[in-house]
Structure 1
Amino acid sequence: MNLSEPTDPEGTTVNVSCAAGAQVQVMLDGVPAAALGQLALLQLNATERDNRCSFFCNASLEVDGVILHRDRSIQLRVLYGPKIDPAKCPQHLMWKGKTTQVLQCQARGNPDSQVQCLHEGSRSQVPVGIPFRVSLNYSGTYYCQAASSQGTYTVTVAINFQDRNHLTITIVIGVLILTLVVIAALWYVFGLQKRSDIYYVNQGSTWLPLTSRQPDEALEEQPS
């Protein structure tokens, strides 16, 4: 049994052959050769799915009424570039600060690829597949790249953190702001009411108009 190349890059044509000599019937993956003594041939275009695929050859020969058998198998290895499955490398993460997390960002490929995630700005590296204690320093966008002799593959991962202390401070500040708004609103309402009362008293004050009297009327009112 023979492979044109035991290790082939993805996309190349692979020939698998099986031969056992004259008067021997051979079958390759269950498909017999055209006639006794001829080889069985299989041709395929190598893909990622064919990696580690095994092919089986069976040879049979009748000798004095007894059928003799011999089997053999061979495995194909296909080289293909790294690929990162989004399901195994989430592109949006939300973690709580001061907790231990693991960035799972797995890549497949042959040969095995190395994966590293670098911050887009500082180029600092976040551990991949290793537990680490997170903090706000790790927040940001990362380029996770898988690299091997067959090429590279990159995905973007956004990491955000919820800092407990920061959240508490935010809540306290929010409460203080709300309190100040309420106090200002009350001050405005009561101040406006006070001004309104003063205005109402001034407008509503009673007074009698002065009228002029004639001299005769004044004399008549004097006691006799």
Structure 2
Amino acid sequence: MVAPALLALALGTLGAIADIPKPRLHSPNTAVAGEDLWVNCSLSPNAPEDTRVSLVAQNRFGLPLDGSCSDLDWFLKQCQYLVPEDEEGELNVSCEAQTMPYGSRRESQQIRVHAKPRLDCPAQLNWTEGENEILDCRTRGIPDPELECTKDGNSVPVGTPFRAERIHAGIYLCRARNDLGSAERNVTVWVQYSAPDSAPFPLLPVLLGSLIPFLALLVLTGLYWWHHHSIEVGEYWLWKRHPRPPGHQGATKGLP
């Protein structure tokens, strides 16, 4: 008599487990890092009222996401989760229907996390003229962002060595783009170079430009003095040869 009773109990338990309603998970296929994720878990309204639903969201390491849930009805639960700003990869959400003491049924889904572009660029770079230098900027984001750096409106290679020249000094604008948006950074590049090879050449025209006018002024002053002195000497000897009578006022300049 005991065996049939145990068999009936086992069959009843199996039947109760089989009657646990299957939950329905309502979730988007993708989420955006730094934004809210809304997920619903529901049962059929015809499900037994002693069945409860619950939602769990975890990151790729199995850690639960921060969020809050509310019961819109006994058979419908809605949760709001904040996807971390630095989250990458996938999230896992699970919707579970539980009937005590018989057990539970679960439906799960993987959610792909997309991320806006982010740029890791140095604020400034110090290059040396004639050396191979690299404009190094790195991007992060899902989908992979497209990166472009420009100077004075012209594109320049990123991550590729090239020979640095003085004309490469200046401010570079780097921009990363994907479907979710864009990010920008400015990079200031300084190019060090040696000045001795070029210093004497600009100095020579400056010296000549100052010396020539001075020499010209000196020559003109000398000629004027010589001419004026020659006139005075000639008048003196003329007076010596032809003296004027006493009391005569001559018209000759410079005579006593």
* TM-score class, shorter: 0.5 to 0.7
> 1:17 aligns to what SS in structure 2?
strand
Pairwise mapping of residues 166-205 of structure 1 onto structure 2 (< 5 A)?
167-202=195-230, 204-205=232-233
Aligned positions of 1:27-38 closer than 5 A: 29=66, 31-34=68-71, 38=75
TM-score by length of 1: 0.53
Instruction: Count matched residues.
Output: 200
25 and 116 in structure 1: CA distance in 2 versus 1, 3 angstrom threshold: closer
Three-state SS of the structure 2 residue aligned to 1:34 is strand
AA aligned to 1:211 is R
Partner of 1:102: 134
| Aligned position for 2:79 | 42
1:114 and 2:114 equivalent? no
Are residues 112 and 2 of structure 1, via their aligned partners in 2, closer, same or farther at CA, if it must alter by over 3 Å?
farther
SS of the counterpart of 2:199?
helix
Matched residues in 2 for 1:161 and 1:35: separation?
61
**Conservation of the 8 A alpha-carbon contact between 1:24 and 1:36:** no
In structure 2, what is the Cα distance between the partners aligned to 1:14 and 1:58?
15
- For 2:77, the aligned partner's letter is A
Q: Distance in 2 between matches of 1:6 and 1:141?
A: 41
Contact 2:69 2:79 in 1 (8 A): no
Residue 121 of structure 2 is aligned with which of 70, 83, 88? 88
Mean Cα deviation higher: 30-39 or 150-159: 150-159
Give how far 1:24 is off: 3.5
The gaps in structure 1 that reach 5 residues or longer are: 214-224
- Partners of 2:71 and 2:187 lie apart in 1 by 59
**1:24-75: per-residue Cα shift (whole Å, max 9, x none)?**
464665645438954431358x9994964968879897968xxx9xxx9987
Gap regions ≥5 residues in structure 2: 1-23, 57-65, 247-256
Maintained 8 Å contact 1:98/1:163: no
Match of 2:158 among 128, 137, 140: 128
Distance across 2 between alignment mates of 1:164 and 1:116: 27
Q: Distance in 1 between matches of 2:169 and 2:189?
A: 5
Q: Which amino acid aligns with 1:34?
A: D
Deviation at 1:187? 1.1
What CA RMSD, in Å, does the superposition of the two structures yield over aligned residues?
A: 5.6
Instruction: Give the secondary-structure state (helix, strand or coil) at the position aligned to 2:79.
Output: strand
Percent identity (aligned): 19
Aligned to 2:250: none
Match of 1:15 in 2: 38
Q: Are 1:97 and 1:161, in contact at CA under 8 Å, matched by a contact in 2?
A: no
Q: TM-score, normalised by structure 2?
A: 0.48
Q: Structure 1 63/13 Cα, relative in aligned 2: closer, same or farther at 3 Å?
A: closer
Paired AA for residue 114 in structure 1:
E
Distance of aligned partners of 1:137 and 1:185 in 2 relative to their CA distance in 1, 3 Å threshold: closer
**1:134/1:2 CA distance change after superposition, 3 Å:** farther
